[in-house]
């Protein structure tokens, strides 16, 4: 599911900039 998290991070990154990086880490840790 790492790919899903990466795509999600990219979407958030475009919307909130650096925020995406944080979300990506959180989602990855959850898996």
Total number of domains constituting the chain:
1
pTM of the model: 0.20
Taking only the tens place, the pLDDT of each residue in 1-31 is 455 655 666 666 565 655 555 555 555 555 5
Residues 6, 31 contacting (CB under 8 angstroms):
no
Report the alpha-carbon distance of residue 21 to residue 16 in Å, rounded: 10
Return the pLDDT at 6: 59
Cβ neighbors of 8 (< 8 A, separation 6 or more) are: 23, 24, 27
CA 13 to each of CA 3, 7, 20: distance values in angstroms, whole numbers, following the listed order: 15, 10, 4
Domain range enclosing 1: 1-31
Return the pLDDT at 7: 63
Residues 19, 13 contacting (CB under 8 angstroms):
yes
């Amino acid at each position: 599911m790492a790919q899903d998290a990466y795509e999600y991070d990219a979407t958030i990154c475009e919307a909130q900039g650096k925020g995406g990086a944080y979300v990506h880490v959180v989602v990855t840790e959850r898996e």
